[in-house]
């Protein structure tokens, strides 16, 4: 009779908590069998064969004698709270996340466990999961434990630090950027490096952004300003808010719709305020930069047909090589005439003019972010001579390369 009464009370409280926290709750008996399932959403992780398999992974034979609450992670970056209940079994709260899910997370899961076709269902699932910060989560665990065991658990509950991404950053590229930043720091301030980060967002270059951000963070020669003298967490939050604000503007410049960009920026700042751990703040900031760059990349991709998107991407990646309509068409396995007509139709200018514009944009970056001489730049970008380079540069910018560089120095 007592077990039935406890079970009735248990279900009542669990249902209340399910509605308050919008979280799934499972009650498992001492043998590991699922007794009660309370799920606020029909969505479940498509990487599991069934919803029940999520709960079963937390009940193992070597843990049946464990009478303490715990917080555990899954291989898929989810979190669950495990609360043992005397004479009944175990309550499993979850799944949920301790940080807002990002595009980084979805990309990693697809790369490691799933298939590209899962992207939409995975995104829907992870964005449906409740986000509970570490402090609140520990309090919820202790409350459940007290309610049903009539004991106070006054120890800290260790919870896993599940990273939101495991990107394999190109170490050679990161080392290259590290050397570049170190060299530039001798004659420039850190705004130069910051501008390059935002340029990667404008261009939608996610991989370069991650590698450069890694190098940027590891460079010890930069000393970030203090925006709060008394509280280091507040200082880091203020710095991150400034970064998110600038990243929002960079995304808009890159083509992301302003309403989408501002909504994302506002949401990121709101979520940021919930964090209290400096490492979490750093990781969160990195994820926001990646997501802005990813959104810009998708916007650029969706504006054009697949052949033109591939063509533009090829030009961008091979800007330091000789580029001709014939060589690009051969790479795309389509006829030069078809590519020429399609490019003019979708982009609005001939492909030769687009290549020139892209080269000049790259030249501007080289003059802004590096110390190449003008003769080096025209050679790197395969202009026939410096005179022709100057002519084309002035055509698209209205000033000569020397005037542009002088204006940049005065601006900085």
Instruction: List pLDDT tens digits, range 80-110.
Output: 888 888 878 888 888 888 777 776 677 777 7
Percent with pLDDT over 90 in the chain:
12
Tell me what pLDDT residue 187 has. 40
- Looking at per-residue pLDDT, the higher value among 49 and 65 belongs to 49
Please report the pLDDT score of residue 218 as a whole number: 63
Q: Pick the closest to residue 352 from 316, 317, 324 (CA basis).
A: 324
> What stretch of H or E contains 102?
none
| Chain segment 354-400, per-residue pLDDT in tens | 999 999 988 888 887 667 788 889 898 999 888 999 999 999 889 99
% of the chain exceeding 70 in pLDDT: 80
Full set of structural domains in the chain with CATH: 2-149 (3.30.450), 171-302 (no CATH), 306-411 (1.10.10.60)
Is the per-residue pLDDT at 353 higher than 90?
yes
User: What residues contact 92, with CB distance under 8 A and at least 6 apart?
Assistant: 25, 26, 27, 28, 55, 58, 80, 81, 82, 83
The confidence score (pLDDT) of residue 62 equals 42
Give the torsion through C-alpha atoms of 237, 240, 242, 248, to 10 deg. Answer: -130
Are 307 and 342 a contacting pair, CB within 8 Å? yes
| 3-class secondary structure, 14 | helix
Average confidence (pLDDT) over 35-51:
79
SS3 (DSSP) at 96: strand
CA distances from 392 to 35, 243, 348, 359, 375 (A): 74, 34, 19, 10, 14
| CA distance linking residue 323 with residue 312, whole number of Å | 12
What is the model's pLDDT at position 344?
92
Separation CA 132–CA 237 (nearest Å): 19
How far from 21 is each of 24, 103, 131, 133, 324, CA to CA, in Å?
A: 9, 24, 9, 12, 59
23 pLDDT higher than 50: yes
């Amino acid at each position: 009779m007592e077990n039935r009464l406890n079970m009735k009370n248990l279900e009542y409280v669990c249902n209340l908590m399910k509605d308050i926290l919008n979280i799934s709750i499972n009650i498992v008996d001492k043998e590991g069998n699922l007794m009660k399932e309370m799920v606020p959403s029909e969505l479940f992780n498509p990487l599991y064969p069934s919803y029940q398999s999520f709960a079963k992974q937390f009940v193992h034979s070597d843990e049946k004698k464990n009478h303490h609450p715990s917080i555990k992670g899954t291989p898929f970056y989810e979190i669950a709270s495990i609360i043992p209940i005397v004479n009944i079994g175990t309550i499993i709260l979850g799944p949920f996340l301790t940080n807002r899910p990002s595009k980084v997370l979805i990309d990693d899961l697809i790369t490691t466990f799933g298939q590209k076709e899962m992207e939409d269902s995975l995104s829907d699932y992870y964005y449906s999961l409740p986000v509970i910060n570490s402090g609140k989560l520990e309090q919820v665990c202790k409350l459940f434990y007290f309610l049903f065991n009539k004991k106070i658990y006054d120890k800290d509950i260790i919870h896993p630090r599940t990273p939101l991404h495991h990107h394999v950053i190109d170490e050679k590229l990161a080392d290259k950027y590290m050397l570049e930043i170190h060299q530039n720091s001798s004659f420039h301030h850190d705004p130069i490096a910051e501008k390059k980060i935002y340029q990667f967002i404008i261009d939608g270059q996610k991989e370069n952004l991650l590698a450069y951000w890694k190098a940027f963070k590891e460079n010890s020669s930069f000393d970030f300003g203090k925006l709060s003298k008394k509280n280091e967490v507040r200082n880091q939050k203020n710095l991150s808010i400034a970064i998110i604000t600038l990243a929002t503007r960079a995304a808009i410049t890159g083509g992301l719709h302003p309403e989408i960009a501002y909504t994302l920026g506002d949401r990121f700042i709101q979520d940021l305020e919930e964090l209290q751990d400096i490492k979490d703040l750093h990781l969160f900031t990195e994820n926001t930069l990646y997501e802005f760059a990813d959104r810009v990349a998708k916007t650029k991709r969706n504006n054009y047909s697949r052949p033109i998107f591939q063509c533009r991407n090829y030009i961008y990646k091979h800007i330091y090589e000789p580029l001709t309509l014939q060589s690009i068409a051969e790479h795309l396995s389509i006829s030069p005439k078809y590519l020429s007509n399609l490019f003019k139709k979708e982009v609005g200018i001939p492909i030769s003019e687009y290549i020139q514009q892209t080269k000049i944009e790259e030249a501007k970056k080289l003059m802004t972010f590096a110390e190449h001489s003008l003769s080096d730049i025209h050679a790197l970008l395969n202009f026939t001579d410096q005179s022709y380079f100057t002519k084309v540069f002035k055509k698209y910018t209205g000033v000569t390369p020397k005037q542009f560089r002088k204006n940049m120095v005065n601006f900085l």
